[in-house]
Structure 1
Amino acid sequence: MLHREVEIGSFLKARRAALDPAGLGLPSGLNRRRVRGLRREEVAQLAAISVDYYTRIEQGRAHAISASVLDAIARALRLTGGEVTYLRNVAALDRRAADGPAGGCAPAAGPGQTVRPEVRQLLDAMAGTVPATVIGRGLDILAWNSLGARVGFDLDGLAPGRRNSALLVFLDPAARALHPDWDRIAEETVGNLRAESGRHPEDPRICAVVGELLERSGDFRRVWEAQSVSECLRGTKRIVHPRVGELHVTFETFRLTTDDDQILVTYSAPRGSVTESRLRELAELPVPDVVATAGLEPVA
């Protein structure tokens, strides 16, 4: 469970610290500022609300904040679309978080997410040419086709509870060798996970994943505390596979609208490219030859 007073305060502080006062027409002299970014009173002025009220909001002491006030703060802080959604979700917790458990994760209410047979059938239909996975709440990897299991981590060889994109990126020693652009991948992963936590602040699985990573990974703590909320739903990746070499793939995500909080992720390469040829080679390798993970261990 997210603690509302902590989350909203940390988020707003990080976002105002990230702004350049000079870019907003405000004085920026070092002799006048003890901290970087905007002061609370400047955010309040830009949002046209009282300093006292903004201070109470940032400290988690203001409840039932109106949508108009949240929108005004969002404009003052130049929030992105994903950041605005996160702010609204965290603010909507209202008194529920304060009245909830003092700490720890709530137990799961029932069985985990399942993938429909029709979706698994679609994954299998793409298996020979298109690596694909289904990602669920908290970045759990719920299903994959044979090529999807081979293009990166050895999903078939992992215990069910460890098949999670964030856990793999931050805790698997193979992650940095597999992803030469690891820093970018790490930031994208945290942005996605924080957006998830904003949509489902009381979800026990998200809470458990975030809690484990905060405890075991210094790199995760550093990126998480930056309060980035930037979902990456499409783009490119470089993957260095130990058997077929470097792959340059494009990934796309497709939200499964009838399946709550599940997305289909596909990887592809231009026709005739070296990567397309290597993906075909990867699909033809015997299963024992496809190994790209060393197991989950604490990293930094």
Structure 2
Amino acid sequence: MDGQSSLGAFLQARRSRLTPADIGLDTYGERRRVPGLRREELALLAGVSASYYARLEQGHSHNASPEVLDALARALNLDEAERRHVHDLAGLAARRPAARRPPAERVDGATRRLLESMPEVPAVLTGRRADVLAWNPLGHALFAGHLDPTAPDRPADRPNMAALLFLDPYLRELYGTWESKARAAVANLRYAAGRHPDDSLLGALVGELSMKSDEFATMWADHRARPCTVAEQRMWHPLVGALTVTQQALRVSDDQTLLVATAPAGSEDHTALRLLAQATAPART
């Protein structure tokens, strides 16, 4: 899908979720044939002509100014991440993506030292496509203890956190809040796709997951786009049982994110993390 088609699909999806009541519009009991706002209603709210907005949504206009995009974002009640996503999609429409295979993502020495410096905190470093680029022992034990711990060291074998969520039964059982975690992962991928439209590997990942998982395809069609930030996650780990952690996605570069999990000191959840660290620690010789 090219940039203009992506922009139009995003605008249409967001328009369908706004109701007249959301913008204080009285419909006087009128029965409406389509969900959400009509095109002309959103155009009026954004201060553009209905015909221009229709062309924009249909992919027939390629010259939306930043001011128009911001007006549409305000009319659609978009948050800052979604507003940036709209600008990314509009920028994509103005250029032709290059069809090339992107180079393998690398982990610099400073980031590896950061991972090594936090042995008591589960940490996983992911790239722009949610590939696992590195993890510390506790991060591996908490999030993917059933996988080869050396897999991230080999670009061809790197696990992908989004794919694991939808295709690996272990991850589905690990998260008690699986649906919210899965939706956040899909929104993060769509946000990345808007920023990197020429990434053929990202496009291939989305295509593969859409074919293999109806749940992913449904969530992708929802057009939610936002980077992961912070969320509380209920988990059930096969070694330590139930625990609740706060997962934070900390950006260490434009394309790399450090996912960490913490629990309040002295809590049962913190004790569970310490027990997991002890249970998976390498044997001393």
Whether the TM-score (by the shorter chain) exceeds 0.5 is: yes
Deviation at 1:8, TM superposition (A): 1.2
Could you list the per-position Cα deviations for residues 189-221 of structure 1 after superposition, in whole angstroms to 9, with x for gaps in the alignment?
Answer: 111111111111221222121111111110001
What are structure 1's unaligned runs of at least 5 residues?
289-300
Deviation at 1:162, TM superposition (A): 4.9
Deviation at 1:235, TM superposition (A): 2.0
Distance 1:174 1:28, change over 3 A: farther
1:108 to 89, 101, 115: 101
Amino acid at match of 2:226: S
CA RMSD of superposed structures (Å): 2.0
Greater RCO (CA < 8 Å, at least 6 residues apart) = 1
Query: Residue 264 of structure 1 corresponds to which residue in structure 2?
Result: 258
Matches of 1:38 and 1:202, distance apart in 2? 32
Query: Residue 125 of structure 2 corresponds to which residue in structure 1?
Result: 134
Query: Residue 291 of structure 1 corresponds to which residue in structure 2?
Result: none
Matches of 2:25 and 2:222, distance apart in 1? 23
Matches of 1:42 and 1:32, distance apart in 2? 15
Amino acid at match of 1:168: L
Amino acid at match of 2:62: H
Secondary structure class of the residue paired with 2:138? coil
Q: Number of residue pairs matched? A: 277
More divergent stretch after superposition (246-255 vs 69-78)? 246-255
Could you list the per-position Cα deviations for residues 106-145 of structure 1 after superposition, in whole angstroms to 9, with x for gaps in the alignment?
Answer: 34143x1111122112211212x11111111111111100
More divergent stretch after superposition (230-239 vs 155-164)? 155-164
Is the contact between residue 152 and residue 239 of structure 1 (CA under 8 Å) also seen in structure 2?
Answer: no
Deviation at 1:64, TM superposition (A): 2.4
Is the contact between residue 246 and residue 261 of structure 2 (CA under 8 Å) also seen in structure 1?
Answer: yes
Deviation at 1:58, TM superposition (A): 0.3
Deviation at 1:53, TM superposition (A): 0.7
Secondary structure class of the residue paired with 2:141? coil
Secondary structure class of the residue paired with 1:170? helix
Q: Is 2:6 the partner of 1:10?
A: no
Secondary structure class of the residue paired with 2:139? coil
Query: Residue 123 of structure 1 corresponds to which residue in structure 2?
Result: 115
Secondary structure class of the residue paired with 1:71? helix
Q: Is 2:285 the partner of 1:285?
A: no
Matches of 2:16 and 2:44, distance apart in 1? 16
Distance 1:18 1:29, change over 3 A: farther
Secondary structure class of the residue paired with 1:69? helix
Q: Is 2:203 the partner of 1:200?
A: no
1:163 to 159, 175, 183: 159
Amino acid at match of 2:126: I
Q: Is 2:87 the partner of 1:88?
A: yes
Deviation at 1:30, TM superposition (A): 6.6
1:146 to 137, 161, 169: 137
Please identify runs of 4+ aligned residues in structure 1 that moved more than 4 A: 157-162
Is the contact between residue 107 and residue 133 of structure 2 (CA under 8 Å) also seen in structure 1?
Answer: yes
What are structure 2's unaligned runs of at least 5 residues?
none
Q: Is 2:161 the partner of 1:176?
A: no
Matches of 2:30 and 2:158, distance apart in 1? 50
Deviation at 1:17, TM superposition (A): 0.6
Give me the identity figure in percent. 43
Amino acid at match of 2:91: A
TM (norm. structure 1) is 0.86
Deviation at 1:231, TM superposition (A): 2.7
Distance 1:193 1:270, change over 3 A: same
Amino acid at match of 1:108: R
Amino acid at match of 1:229: A
Query: Residue 189 of structure 1 corresponds to which residue in structure 2?
Result: 185
Amino acid at match of 2:124: T
Amino acid at match of 2:262: S
Could you list the per-position Cα deviations for residues 6-41 of structure 1 after superposition, in whole angstroms to 9, with x for gaps in the alignment?
Answer: 311211111011011123122446744110100011
Distance 1:37 1:161, change over 3 A: farther
